[in-house]
Amino acid sequence: MFKILQKQTLAPIVDMMVIDAPYIARHAKAGNFVVLRLNERGERIPLTIADSDSEKGTITLLFQKIGKTTEALGRLKPGQSIRDIIGPLGHPSPLKSYGNCVLVGGGIGAATLYPILKALKGIDNTVTVIMGARTKELLLWEDKFRKHADDFVITTDDGSSGRKGFVTDALKDIINQKTVNLVIAVGPVKMMKAVSEVTRPYGIKTLVSLNPLMVEGTGMCGACRVSITGKTRFACIEGPEFDGHEVDFQELESRQGFYKEEEAEAYKLFLKKRVKDSRS
């Protein structure tokens, strides 16, 4: 059992939890994730390790309440526990002294980028962070990113914060102003694809953190397979980061939609049950 120490709502449908997990905290590196299960019959879901503290023995998770399991997770309170958490899983981000780096995040992508930002700064890189969201209320951890980044750029679709437009607009401006040695993009599939297309003509090394369907996180089930230069790879054990110029984004997006109807029905039944329980 893994005890929840802190919980905070960061944005509409986005919560943060600090969890007591000493072993995971000691071994976690930027880019790693965990798979958790709320109870014995629960669904297994992957979540990025957004931060960790080896001295306190804690890990920090950010998640969107968009389905049955994440909604149930969001209803847990400090002092309660999560039955199972396995990790750290996946390959750590391949970090070294690149030079000028740009991190591009959309929405919950901040969860992945924050430890990467800290790690890159720890090995002598100059890092610009571009954070995008539909509106100001959906921006995450702005103060944390400003603390570590050399430059921090906000874009919002509606112009409610930062510059109005998309993260790709800001990325193009930066590329035209200076040499960029590395770009890491995390967020919706369409955004990561768009970023990869921006950097492709310049030959800029571009990493994207993929989020296909996962079940058990060890490569046995094959649910998280993705196509990289026409070859099947497993995101849970060979990723989650891959070269953005080699990813078949169309297939990835298609696979992510396989169970949308089932997920929606499960979520609907879960909420209906919660309403019924609250009235009884």
- Chunked mean pLDDT (size 10), the chain, 280 residues: 96 94 97 93 91 97 91 96 95 95 92 95 96 93 95 95 95 96 96 97 96 76 87 90 95 74 68 63
User: Rounded CA gap, 131 and 141, in Å?
Assistant: 10
Residues 108 and 59 grouped into a single domain: no
Question: What's residue 220's pLDDT?
Answer: 79
Same domain, 249 and 178: yes
Identity at 142, one-letter amino acid code = E
Q: H helices within 162-259, ranges in order? A: 167-177, 189-199, 235-238, 249-256
Residue 271 lies in a domain: no
Nearest to 152 by CA among 105, 93, 99, 208: 105
Give 87: exposed, middle or buried? Use CB within 10 Å, 0-12, 13-18, 19+: buried
Q: 172: domain range?
A: 100-256
Q: Examine the domain organization and report whether 9 and 65 are in the same domain.
A: yes
Q: Is there a single domain that holds both residue 122 and residue 251? A: yes
Residue 275 in domain: no
Domain assignment of residue 26, yes or no: yes
Total domains in the chain come to 2
Task: Examine the domain organization and report whether 208 and 245 are in the same domain.
Answer: yes
Q: Kindly provide the b/e burial profile for residues 168-188, where b requires at least 16 CB atoms within 10 angstroms of the residue's own CB.
A: bebbeebbeeeebebbbbbbb
Q: Please report, for residues 45, 181, 185, the alpha-carbon distance to residue 203 in angstroms, rounded to integers and kept in the order given.
A: 34, 9, 15
Q: Which letter does DSSP use for residue 96 in this model?
A: -
Q: Which of 38, 61, 89 is the last residue of a domain?
A: 89
Q: Are residues 104 and 226 in the same domain?
A: yes
Cα angle for residues 87, 92, 95 (degrees, 5° grid): 160
* pLDDT at residue number 260: 66
Q: What's the confidence (pLDDT) of residue 257?
A: 67
224 inside domain: yes
Do 23 and 106 share a structural domain? Answer: no
Q: For the whole model, what pTM was predicted?
A: 0.91
Kindly report the CATH number assigned to the domain that includes residue 71: 2.40.30.10
Do 69 and 186 belong to one domain?
no
The domain that holds 185 is classified in CATH as: 3.40.50.80
Question: How much is the pLDDT for 244?
Answer: 97
Decide if 156 is inside a domain: yes
